[in-house]
């Protein structure tokens, strides 16, 4: 019989899976995915870089298009680490920044990037010719640009190149390229597994390297095994989900997501559950059908054993707390979505989270004194003093002054 999960149950389990609950993984993890659970973000015996890499590995992939935000998305899940630890995890080849799926930049454990691309590339590469036609890049130009890029990256070796220096190599090779080609070309060589962003450069951001020179080991997964792995690790790091959540997150079709879920269920790594609405009624049909890692269900048996959800957390822009799902209502009241994504332009703002639910947005104040500006949702009742600990944690991670906290009227 399927477990029946209330919205509070879903929220509690998701927060634990996301590494955002106070007890997340502190007990050694009870995930059915034993290959991933021992890699604990809160294992203080490890170095900071190892703990950061453990977060990336357990999360499978974290949104990485905004570099500053992506660093904090890792750090908030490994309390006590710093931005320097994130850089060290990149420099020691544990994690990379690239395009594993959906045509979106993520941070991924180095050993996972290639198999993920092989499992999802058929969905994103299919539209590339049309994009190149729009940009005016013909096949001959593409071949020259790719060949020149690989030669330049090979010459740079493990030192890597920034985007500007790679583009200079095209010019030096006599290629008549256009500025609006650059993003597509870098995406193309990364999406095809030829390059990735690895070592941190003088400007503080990852540099491009040839993957054959940088990634020393890759997992070998393909076909049904890759779909199974996607479903299992998504569940372990995201909590209860629907088929459409996995399909959206990976960019795969619902049929492909279903195949992965079915394989994971047959192996015992996933079990079915049903969603209950706020009024207590079981949600019928596909909207109420959930899948969950059975190792995470202990949070519903005795909520006190898992400890309370953290009172206040400051999450990064694009955090997986919201971006990890297509159905986000346990974490965010849908009526506030426009406050998170103003103009619905795809740019997710940093969020203030109270006991797992989003109650406002925040931004760091410019200037040496620092400080936060908080924009509460109507009726949220945010207490600036209560956010002091979260503010200090963010400041300590970045090595800056915490500053004061101001609430917008």
> In the 3-class helix/strand/coil scheme, how is 170-200 assigned residue by residue?
HHHCCCCCCHHHHHHHHHHHHHCCCEEEEEE
pLDDT at 67 over 70: yes
CB environment 252-287: b (16+ within 10 A), e (fewer): beeebbbbbbbbbeeeebbbebebbeeeeeebeeee
Residue 385 in any domain: the answer is yes
Residue 275, φ and ψ in degrees, nearest 5: -90, 140
Q: What is the dihedral of CA 98, 104, 108, 111, to 10 degrees?
A: -60
Last residue of a domain, one of 199, 214, 229: 214
Q: How confident is the model at residue 31 (pLDDT cuts 50, 70, 90)?
A: very low
Q: Does the residue 124 lie in any domain?
A: yes
Q: What tens digit of pLDDT does each residue of 153-170 get?
A: 999 999 999 999 999 999
CB 182 within 8 A of CB 167: yes
Asked whether residue 89 is domain-assigned, the answer is: no
Give the pLDDT score at 37: 41
3-state SS, residue 217: coil
Q: 185 falls in which pLDDT band (50, 70, 90)?
A: very high
Q: 343 lies in a domain?
A: yes
Percent of the chain with pLDDT over 90: 80
The answer on pLDDT for 217 being more than 60 is: yes
Q: Containing domain of residue 398, as a range?
A: 312-407
Whether the predicted pLDDT of 38 surpasses 50: no
- Where a domain ends, among 182, 197, 214? 214
User: What pLDDT does residue 272 have?
Assistant: 95
Over residues 169-193, mean pLDDT: 97
Closest CA to 74 of 406, 398, 405: 398
* Residue entry with tokens 């990064």: 316
Written as six digits, the tokens of 25 are 């993984």
Sheet holding 289-292: strands in order across? 3-5, 271-275, 289-292
**Rounded to whole angstroms, how far apart are CA atoms 197 and 52?**
16
Tokens 């659970």 identify what position?
37
Answer whether residue 229 is part of any domain. Answer: no
Residue 84 has pLDDT above 80, yes or no: yes
Mean pLDDT of 263-271: 97
3-state secondary structure at position 298: helix
In the listed set 164, 192, 214, which residue is the last one of a domain according to the structure? 214
Per the CB < 8 A criterion, the answer to whether 243 and 211 are in contact is: no
In a domain, 30, yes or no: no
Going by the DSSP 8-state scheme, the letter that residue 60 receives in this structure is: S
Residue 85 lies in a domain: no
More confident residue, 115 or 302: 115
CATH classification of the domain holding 183: 1.10.10
Number of domains into which the chain is organized: 2
Integer Cα distance of 121 and 51 in angstroms? 29
Tell me the three state secondary structure of residue 135.
helix
pLDDT digits (tens, 9 = 90+) for 348-407: 999 999 999 999 999 998 877 788 999 999 988 898 888 999 999 999 999 998 999 999
Position 329 in a domain: yes
Q: How many CB atoms lie within 10 A of CB 131?
A: 13
């Amino acid at each position: 019989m399927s477990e029946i999960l209330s919205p509070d149950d879903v929220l509690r389990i998701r927060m634990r899976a996301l590494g955002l609950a106070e007890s997340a993984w502190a007990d050694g993890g009870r995930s059915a995915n034993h290959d991933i659970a021992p890699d604990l973000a809160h294992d203080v015996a490890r170095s900071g870089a190892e703990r950061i890499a453990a977060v990336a590995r357990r999360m499978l992939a974290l949104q990485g298009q905004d570099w500053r935000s992506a660093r904090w998305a890792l750090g908030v899940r490994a309390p006590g680490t710093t931005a320097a630890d994130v850089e060290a995890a990149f420099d020691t080849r544990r994690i990379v920044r690239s395009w594993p799926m959906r045509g979106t930049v993520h941070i991924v454990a180095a050993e996972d990037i290639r198999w993920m691309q092989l499992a999802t590339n058929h969905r994103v590469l299919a539209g590339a010719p049309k994009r190149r036609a729009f940009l005016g890049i013909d096949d001959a130009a593409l071949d020259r640009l790719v060949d020149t890029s690989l030669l330049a990256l090979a010459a740079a070796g493990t030192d890597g190149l920034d985007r500007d220096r790679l583009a200079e190599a095209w010019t030096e090779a006599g290629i008549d390229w256009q500025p609006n080609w650059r993003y597509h070309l870098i995406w193309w060589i990364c999406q095809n597994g030829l390059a990735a962003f690895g070592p941190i450069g003088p400007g503080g951001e990852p540099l491009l390297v040839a993957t054959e020179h940088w990634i020393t080991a890759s997992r070998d997964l393909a076909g049904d095994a890759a779909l199974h792995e996607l479903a299992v690790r998504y569940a372990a790091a995201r909590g209860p989900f629907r088929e459409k959540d996995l399909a959206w997150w990976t960019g795969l079709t619902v049929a492909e997501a279903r195949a992965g879920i079915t394989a994971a269920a047959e192996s015992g790594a996933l079990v079915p559950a049903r969603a209950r609405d706020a009024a207590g009624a079981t949600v019928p049909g596909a909207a109420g059908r959930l899948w969950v890692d059975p190792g995470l269900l202990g949070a519903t048996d005795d909520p006190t054993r898992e400890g309370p959800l953290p009172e206040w957390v400051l999450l990064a822009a694009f955090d997986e707390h919201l971006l990890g799902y297509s159905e986000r209502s346990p974490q965010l009241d849908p009526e506030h979505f426009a406050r998170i994504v103003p103009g619905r332009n795809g740019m997710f703002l940093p969020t203030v989270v109270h006991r797992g639910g989003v109650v406002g947005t925040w931004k760091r104040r410019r200037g040496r004194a620092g400080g936060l500006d908080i924009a509460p949702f109507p009726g949220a009742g945010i207490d600036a003093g209560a956010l002091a600990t979260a503010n200090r944690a963010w400041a300590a991670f970045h090595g800056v002054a915490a500053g004061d906290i101001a609430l917008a009227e």
